[in-house]
């Protein structure tokens, strides 16, 4: 695996790859890699000749400086995992390599910016679109792979690609879970054993909603799901929403794709999860 820390050296190497007619698959990450990330790399390898993975903890998408500060950065362990997963290239830039001083960015992504995650994390998706736009321009991938766990983020990045007319195919990959059902996340390492146990209410409630969805009982499911999560000790529900899979507005009978999304704080750790009810 080759490692690059500057965009110039990365671009020069990838130019040679493209000139040889090879396709490039891209998995952008913030590091603290787990099996969920590695499953994206595996899919990227199946669909492309060369796989690039980036590790960059992007400061512009954090609206809480403490959250940025405590975000895990185990680069040695991550590098080892990428080598095992047979990634071809790691791009691991510093903040100064990615951003100039006083850089301004605003992309009109419409309502997606203010719904659900956007409501609880104002400014977050501006930071996401800013860094993904930069990374796509640096890597110029044929295909980019993202996890379903960040469902709203996938919609936001799809909007970015559409607005900027970027020639990249986006692939949403299934959520990877612990054996007990908890969605894999870099944040899970902050959970105590008790908190981990309480956090299982999120996936259990989503599974219950999927099992009991009859195609139209949106309000009943949502109220009962909220009750189930609010009854769990140590879990502070932010939202449980049964949404249209394309707009994230509340789902109705006309919604072709329906997704149930949840966000909650378990102790001090904020977790998100979702499940497709109709796809």
By annotation, the residues acting in catalysis are 37
Sign of CA dihedral 185, 190, 191, 193: positive
N residues, the chain: 279
Q: Are 151 and 241 in contact (CB under 8 A)?
A: no
In the three-class reduction of DSSP (H, G, I as helix; E, B as strand; rest coil), residue 98 is classed as helix
Which token pair is 188? 């899970």
Q: Are 14 and 48 in contact (CB under 8 A)?
A: no
Q: Are 271 and 185 in contact (CB under 8 A)?
A: yes
In the three-class reduction of DSSP (H, G, I as helix; E, B as strand; rest coil), residue 67 is classed as helix
Name the residue with tokens 């904020």.
270
Residues 6+ apart with CB under 8 A from 104: none
Which token pair is 8? 């110039």
CA atoms of 224 and 240, how far apart (whole Å): 10
| Helix boundaries (H) for the chain | 7-19, 35-47, 65-70, 75-84, 95-98, 117-120, 124-139, 151-163, 193-212, 218-230
| 260 DSSP β-pair partners | 242, 275
In 10 A of CB 132, how many CB atoms? 24
Task: Write 225-228 long-range contacts (CB < 8 A, 24+).
Answer: 225/260, 225/262, 228/201, 228/204
């Amino acid at each position: 695996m080759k490692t690059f820390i500057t965009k110039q050296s990365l671009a020069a190497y990838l130019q040679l790859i493209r000139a040889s007619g090879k396709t490039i698959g891209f998995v952008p990450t913030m590091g603290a890699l787990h099996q969920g990330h590695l499953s994206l790399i595996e899919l990227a390898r199946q669909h492309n000749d060369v796989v690039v993975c980036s590790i960059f903890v992007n400061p512009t998408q954090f609206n809480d400086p403490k959250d940025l500060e405590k975000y895990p950065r185990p680069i040695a362990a991550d590098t080892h995992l990428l080598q095992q997963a047979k990634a071809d290239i790691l791009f691991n830039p510093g903040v100064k390599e990615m951003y100039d001083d006083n850089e301004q960015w605003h992309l009109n992504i419409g309502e997606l910016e203010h719904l659900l995650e956007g409501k609880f994390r104002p400014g977050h998706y501006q930071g996401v679109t800013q860094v993904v736009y930069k990374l796509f321009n640096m890597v110029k991938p044929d295909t980019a792979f993202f996890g379903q766990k960040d469902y709203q983020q996938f919609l936001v990045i799809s909007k970015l690609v559409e607005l900027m007319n970027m020639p990249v195919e986006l692939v949403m990959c299934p959520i990877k879970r612990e054996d007990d059902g908890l969605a894999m996340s870099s944040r899970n390492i902050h959970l105590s054993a008790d908190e981990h146990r309480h956090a299982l209410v999120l996936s259990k409630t989503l599974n219950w909603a999927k099992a009991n969805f009859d195609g139209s009982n949106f309000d009943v499911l949502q109220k009962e799901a909220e009750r189930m999560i609010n009854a769990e000790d140590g879990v502070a529900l932010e939202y449980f929403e049964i949404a249209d899979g394309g707009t994230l507005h509340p789902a109705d009978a006309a919604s072709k794709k329906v997704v149930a999304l949840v966000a909650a704080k378990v102790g001090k750790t904020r977790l998100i999860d979702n499940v497709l009810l109709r796809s």
